[in-house]
Structure 1
């Protein structure tokens, strides 16, 4: 059976933007390793090897220089984490405008 494609939100419209809760941090995807693993530079200054959890593997398509939300692991959280959410371009503009991504201004990818 074929899947139907629905456009839930328009490009310019921002409904709700997810912000970090508890231990979650913003991050930029630097390099993809394959097998749903990638290297992410987090806003807390640490570089983590992150993975996309199984429940999001087929729905979350991440490329280099995407802004993502990372949840560090409880064990070895300094080095590893899970990618929980990927921000769209209009959401990134909203976050920059409201000052949530101030530390990303000096990163060369943007």
Structure 2
């Protein structure tokens, strides 16, 4: 097995979902933990929103400050959003290398 083959395998492992812009999902970075399953999120459009962590995510993974997230803003209150997905550090660095993260959020 050559080194090229091992790189190809690692790329397949780090595949990760992208925000679905048709459904209004965008990138966001966890800014501040507020408690009661709420978190302050800085979104790629420059707006700071209060994100709600649903029970599905809350039970399975912890969200810390500085984590890259997929966020879906509410249609009727623009200053609030639902958190859909949290990227791991490996996935975030993969997106950084691919230049998929907007420059306003790229802290990785």
TM interval, short-chain normalised: 0.7 to 0.9
Task: Tell me the TM-score normalized by structure 2.
Answer: 0.79
List runs of 5+ in structure 1 lacking aligned partners. 1-11
* More helix as a share of residues: 2
Aligned residues: 95
- Alignment root-mean-square deviation, CA: 1.7
* CA deviation after TM superposition for structure 1 residue 90, in Å: 1.0
Q: Is the 8 A contact 1:96 1:102 kept in 2?
A: no
- Runs of 4 or more consecutive aligned structure 1 residues displaced over 4 Å after TM superposition: none
Residue-by-residue CA offset, 1:16-75 (whole Å, 9 max, x unaligned): 211010211111111001011010000111100001112322113101111111011121
For residues 64 and 19 of structure 2, what CA distance do their matches in structure 1 show? 20
Corresponding residue for residue 88 of structure 1? 88
Task: Tell me the TM-score normalized by structure 1.
Answer: 0.78
